[in-house]
Amino acid sequence: MMIKNSEFIISAVNPSQYPTDNRVEIAFVGRSNAGKSSLINTITNRRKLAKTSGTPGKTRLINFFLINDEFYFVDLPGYGFAKVSKKEQEKWGGMMEKYLINRPQLKTIVLLVDSRHKPTQDDVHMYEWIKHYGYEAVIVATKSDKIKRSEFKKNEKIIKETLKFRGDDKFIFFSSLNKAGKEELTEMLISDI
């Protein structure tokens, strides 16, 4: 299946604003600088569908994008890096938790980690949370254009060991810059919708 069309539907703060059409949802989570918006733009072939910025923490709401008139990509606020107050971060956390715990339409959670670095404690907590609530997890190691080919295996091992990766989850390297991993990731996400 290819992504033929994508459109922004709504930015939500609370459940009363979420779409009510019961379509399947795939959520994207990760640190504020992990590249969620860039990834969404790359796999939908839309440069400005999701807002990107040089300043981490641009996504402050839960953004719903309708894909192929069939399902949603959901861009969640980033964690751990944005230069915002503790109070604002707690507000984002509560908003995300409400969405992630009470959303039966949510099928898969895509966790973005930086391929160059060992996952942070926040990444580990997010992965544990995904598994605790029984979601399918897809781990995407972003910015893979910034590491050497010879480092891929070593970095994959570090990421999987740090997260205590479960065998039923999926892992892929990805680059928004050179589009490496784009086709495989798209297939991975939408093949069984």
pLDDT averaged over every residue in the chain: 88
- Are 66 and 72 in contact, with CB atoms under 8 Å apart? yes
Map out the domains of the chain with their CATH numbers: 6-190 (3.40.50.300)
Residue 87: in which H helix or E strand, if any?
helix 86-101
- pLDDT at 81 exceeding the cut of 60: no
pTM for the whole structure:
0.90
CA distance 173 to 8: 26
How do residues 112-140 score in pLDDT, each as one tens digit? 999 999 999 989 999 998 998 889 899 99
Confidence label for 160 from pLDDT (cuts 50, 70 and 90) = very high
3-state secondary structure 102-138: CCCCEEEEEEEEECCCCCCHHHHHHHHHHHHCCCEEE
Residue 55, judged by CB atoms within 10 A of its CB (0-12, 13-18, 19+), counts as exposed
Confidence label for 57 from pLDDT (cuts 50, 70 and 90) = very low
- pLDDT at 52 exceeding the cut of 70: no
